Amino acid sequence: MDSLRCLHFIGFRGEEYWSAVRAFGSPHFIHRRHDLRANREIDWENDLIVFANKEHEGYVHRFNRADVTGPGYDPID
């Protein structure tokens, strides 16, 4: 069975979120930071991961923050 490729945005806030949407399209998942939960949800072989701000692949936060879901997402939060 082929795996679906998902788009993950990690650490986006404000205007850079909208710039990333213009460049990559709307994400399937929005993670406030690269934490253990986000790390588990990412298929590192198939998914496209876009990092913003100070987030990067080499550092995973020990404590989880709630992910963002739904059409009412406000990236300024």
CA atoms within 13 A on the CB side of 3: 10
Please say whether the beta carbons of 13 and 32 come within 8 A: no
SS3 72: coil
Q: How far apart are CA 31 and CA 66, in angstroms?
A: 8
Residue 57 within a domain = no
68 lies in some domain: no
pLDDT of 10 > 90? The answer is: yes
Is 36 inside a domain boundary? yes
Number of structural domains, the chain? 1
Query: pTM value?
Result: 0.78
Least confident of 8-17, 18-27, 67-76: 67-76
Q: How far apart are CA 22 and CA 54, in angstroms?
A: 21
Give 77's pLDDT tier (boundaries 50, 70, 90): very low
**Domain annotation covers residue 22:** yes
For residue 57, give both structure tokens: 């692949």
Please check whether residue 31 lies inside any domain of the structure. yes
Residue with the bigger pLDDT between 48 and 63: it is: 48
Over residues 53-75, the mean pLDDT reads 74
